Structure 1
Amino acid sequence: METTSHTGARTVDGYLQAPFPWYGLDEAFTGPRRLMQVGAGADGTVEHGSLGHGDEPAPRADESAAKDRFAVVVTVASNPVRRSGDGTGVLEATSVSSAAWLAGVGLLTRTWPQAMDHSLRDDWLDQQTETAWVLADDLNSEPWTTLTLPVDGVPTPFHYRESEFGWVLAGSTQSGAHLGAYGRGMSAYGLGFSVVKDIAAYENR
């Protein structure tokens, strides 16, 4: 998936500019919700973004992080293969694999081995990011399994995997958007997703 710039962290402006609906956990989740970050393409169009639920993820896998209970939902716009804005090339299409990769990297950026020296973190993260991409590119093989969860009340199949740092899942919605999610301390098996009716409600919560 083409690298995108990140804008509007913690503010609702970027979310409001998205040409697609945002998804979050459904009403069964009664804990705190918050804005995280949106990603935009070279032409400024919002292409994906994340919404947080539960605890603020600790930045590393230490004793405090082990107590975290959170789930982050990633919404990715459905984009077919398309010409770039300047007409000089072709932009990569988005897919369920795009959502799986963004979710996998999202989990990695919020946790890393406690015993690791801080100076080695960038190398480790690069290696793990590449691994996340390889895994996302082959969703029909181990360690992925299939998990069915409700999206706007409709049973929807997701690709699901667990790691020592948490879990990752990815699937597609009836609206055409792709969904990714990652978390720790909250079981993915009990989650449900729905379109966010008022994205501003996630601001300053």
Structure 2
Amino acid sequence: MDATSQVGGATATAGGPVVGGQAGPADPLVPYLSADFPWYGLDEGWTGRRFLMQAGAGAGAGRAGAAAGSVDYGTLGHGDEPARQYEPRDMRKFAGVVTVARRDSRRSADNTGTLEATSASSAAWLAGSGLLAATWPGQLDRTLRRDWLDQQSALAWDLADDLAGPGWSALSLPVNGSPQPFRYRESEYGWVLAGEAPGILLGAFGRGVSAYGVGFATVPDLSAYARP
């Protein structure tokens, strides 16, 4: 799938690992294993398929670059993998869990700007971008698809920057068995939520899977996500 979104200067391509804007190593687990924070996925209540999606850098940067080789965020998938270019999309059921490292503000890799500190808005933006990448209209040609993604990504960015606003509602979900508050919103494409968890920031997106019935937990072994 070639739909992409810009996240802090790193190009996040749905379905493939990205580190610092460059294609990741051949083994998709490598960027995940190099992270200095715990990964979160759906808890044991989820009995369906699990798979790796993407890992990248610059989650809190907005439009600036990221430290070379760093890993600031990543997504773990659950259910059906995102559709490819012209495959039917409406019948797919999936949820993605986005783990974002807590980072203070810092200089960009090219020393031309400052990366903002990560926040729940960072998780909301990445989750919103993930949902768009998984649900873009497959019948659009490349130019129209790019315009659609640009327009919807700008809207997702504005919404993520105002989690306390009327576009979001409150939702409590279990994280490692304890209830945690999240901000939640639905659209015609699916749902997005964002909040905090011990040591990290947490986002999620999905379609065809009820957000009200999910729970999150740390992933002690990523091998369940790396199986073909």
Q: Same fold (TM over 0.5)?
A: yes
Q: CA deviation at 1:124?
A: 1.1
- Structure 1 window deviating more from structure 2 (64-73 vs 82-91): it is 82-91
Q: CA deviation at 1:123?
A: 0.9
Cα distance between partner residues in 2 of 1:78 and 1:88? 22
Structure 2 unpaired stretches of 5+: 1-6, 12-17, 58-65
- Aligned partner of 1:23 in structure 2 is 40
Question: Deviations 1:131-176 (Å, cap 9, x if unpaired)?
Answer: 100000001112211110000111001111111111001011122x
Give, as a single letter, the amino acid of the residue that structure 1 aligns with 2:89: A
- Aligned partner of 2:206 in structure 1 is 183
Q: Give 2:55's match in structure 1, choosing from 33, 38, 44.
A: 38
Cα distance between partner residues in 2 of 1:152 and 1:101? 23
- Structure 1 window deviating more from structure 2 (41-50 vs 150-159): it is 41-50
Q: Percent identity?
A: 57
- Indicate the RMSD between aligned Cα atoms, in angstroms: 2.1
Checking the alignment, whether the CA contact within 8 Å between 1:23 and 1:195 is kept in structure 2 is: yes
- Aligned partner of 1:2 in structure 2 is 8
Change (3 A) 1:85 1:42: closer
Structure 1 unpaired stretches of 5+: none
Q: Give 1:79's match in structure 2, choosing from 103, 106, 112.
A: 103
Q: CA deviation at 1:44?
A: 1.0
TM-score of the superposed pair, with normalisation by structure 2: 0.82
Give, as a single letter, the amino acid of the residue that structure 1 aligns with 2:149: L
Checking the alignment, whether the CA contact within 8 Å between 2:185 and 2:191 is kept in structure 1 is: yes
- Aligned partner of 1:127 in structure 2 is 151
Checking the alignment, whether the CA contact within 8 Å between 1:146 and 1:158 is kept in structure 2 is: yes
- Structure 1 window deviating more from structure 2 (53-62 vs 95-104): it is 53-62
Cα distance between partner residues in 2 of 1:178 and 1:44? 20
Checking the alignment, whether the CA contact within 8 Å between 2:50 and 2:225 is kept in structure 1 is: yes
- Aligned partner of 1:12 in structure 2 is 29
Q: CA deviation at 1:180?
A: 0.8
Cα distance between partner residues in 1 of 2:69 and 2:124? 23
Highest relative contact order (Cα 8 Å, sep 6+), 1 or 2? 1
Cα distance between partner residues in 1 of 2:112 and 2:155? 30
Change (3 A) 1:140 1:115: same
Divergent runs of 4+, >6 A: none
Q: Give 1:51's match in structure 2, choosing from 32, 54, 76.
A: 76
Q: Is 1:95 aligned with 2:112?
A: no
Checking the alignment, whether the CA contact within 8 Å between 1:60 and 1:110 is kept in structure 2 is: no
Cα distance between partner residues in 1 of 2:85 and 2:173? 28
- Structure 1 window deviating more from structure 2 (109-118 vs 158-167): it is 109-118
Cα distance between partner residues in 2 of 1:128 and 1:73? 20
Aligned length: 203
**Matching of residues 109-120 of structure 1 within 5 Å:** 109-113=133-137, 116-120=140-144
